[in-house]
Structure formats: structure tokens, C-alpha cells
Amino acid sequence: MASKSAAAVKASEATKTSETTAEPPAKTKKNSVKDSVRKVSKTAALIVAIVLFGVVALITTIFVVSHISSLRASEAEYEYLRERAGDVESESGEFSMAHLSALDQEMLQINPDYIFWMRIDGTNIDHPVVRGYDNVKYLDTSFSGEPNIAGALFVDYRNVGEIVTPEADDFLQHIVIYGHNLQRGGMFTDLRRLLNKQFLEENNIITLIINDEIVEFEIFSARLTSVHDPAYFHNFEASHSFPRFANRVDAPLIATQIITLSTCTSSGNDDSRLVVQGYRLFDW
């Protein structure tokens, strides 16, 4: 009986040992499955991240290439327009009046919104200027009417009136012109050079060529400001409005017509603006 009992005990212990040693493989199998799932998940996440990075990189590359291509197209277009305008200046360095009418006709054939040509000595600002039916169209439309992020130089559409009539009571008292500030240059980018006092002293004349007339404005202010600056005021219904406006922008007392050039800045503030203002010089 004792031997049977001993044998039974041994058998029982063997069974327990067998059961005990059988459990770990089950757990190991479960852990192995979990590890496999984790590896697959990590691999999938990595693949997704790589794909997303690739998509973002591709979109960014397309945007940059498109941006540069658009700016180059703008540069080429305005260079062509300057060539198309012909030899606007005579050999003496003064504008050839006989050619101005041809210049106006030349530009109007390309764009009926054309109103005058503008230049500022010492800068790359030497462009035709348009006036559209709103202040949006020419933000991304070139002078020739093609879609382009560089846009065109355009007069505020609310500036309706004669610009160069000899009678002081008839002409538009305040001309506001907008243009982009571009990293590669062009449009109103060079306005920032006028923030340098010495440069401004040497290049302080804004010239308009319109209706066979040479109209000059002497710059009296170049400053960083915001869209809330009084420089954007344009409603002069009351007879005393313009003198008040001229005083608020610190224009000379002799000013009877003011031109305002406006562009954005690279400050990151959507309301920030660079404004250049000049008053008209008269021969009489």
C-alpha cells in the first residue's frame, strides 16, 4: 500500500509538474502575438507618416515652383511692357511728349483698365497702373489679364475723377494706389527703400504719365503704419475735408492733391502697411 501511495504521489506530482510547465508556452504565444501586432502597428504608422511627409513635401514643392514660376512670368511680362512702351524718353533725358499718346494707346490696347504709367527714380517701380471695378481683381491678375500672384499696380476703384486737369477744383484730390510687396522684387517691393532717409532725399519724385501730361509728386512721407492710417481716407464731400485730411497726414500746406502708395509688409501682421505719400508739384 505504501508503494502504491508513493507511486500515486509521484504521479500526482508529475501531473502538476506537467500542468505547470504547460502554462508558460501559452503565455509566450500570447505575448508573441501582441509583439507582432505592435510591430505591425508601428510599421503601419511609420508608413503612414512617410506617405504624409511625402505628400506635404510634394505639395510644398509644387507651391514653391508655382510661386517662383508666377513671379518670373510677372517679371517677364512687365519687362515686355516696358519694351512695348518704346523709347519713352528722348536723348536729352526728358520725356518725349510726342510719344506719350502712342504709349497710352499702346497700353489701352492691352488693357482697357489702364489709366497711367508710373515710375519712381532710383527704384524698379516703372509700371502701368490700372483701375478695376473693385480692389480685388488685380491682387492676382496681371496687367495683361493673366492669373498671377504678383498682380498689378491698381488705383482704388473708389478714386473716380480726373487726375491731371489744370483746374484745382476739378481733379481727384487723393489718389490711392496698391501693389504687392514681393520677396523677389517687382510691383511695390522697392517702396521699402524709401524708408531710408538718405535714399528718399535723392529719389523723392513720383512721376505719372497720363493723357500726354507729365505729372510729378514730391514725396513728403514714407512710413510703416496700419490699414487704419488716415492715409486711406478718400471721401471729400465736404469742402473742408481735404485740408483736414492733408493736416492729419502732415502734408505741406501748399498740397492740393496727394498721392498715396500702399503695400503690405513682411512683419506677419495682416494690418501692417508701408505707405508712401507725395503732393503734386504744379508749374503754375
With contact defined as beta carbons under 8 Å apart, do 251 and 220 qualify? yes
What burial letters (b/e) apply to 179-190, b meaning 16+ CB within 10 Å? Answer: bbbbeeebbbbb
What radius of gyration do the chain's Cα atoms show?
A: 36
Rounded Cα gap, residues 246 and 179, in angstroms: 23
Stretches in the chain below the pLDDT threshold 50: 1-3, 20, 63-64, 90-92
pTM of the model as a whole: 0.72
For 113-148, give the DSSP string: TEEEEEEETTSS-EEEEE--SSSSGGGSB-TTS-B-
SS (H, E, C) 70-112: HHHHHHHHHHHHHHHHCCCECCCCCECHHHHHHHHHHHHHHCC
pLDDT confidence of residue 101: 73
The pLDDT of residue 112 is 94
Extract the C-alpha cell encoding 53. Answer: 511627409
- Whole-number pLDDT of residue 113: 95
Summarised one tens digit per residue, pLDDT across range 71-123 is 666 777 777 777 766 555 544 455 555 666 788 888 999 999 999 999 998 99
pLDDT given for residue 92 in this prediction? 45
For residue 90, give the C-alpha cell: 528722348
Q: What was the pLDDT predicted at 33?
A: 62
Q: By C-alpha distance, which of 190, 189, 187 is closest to 200?
A: 190
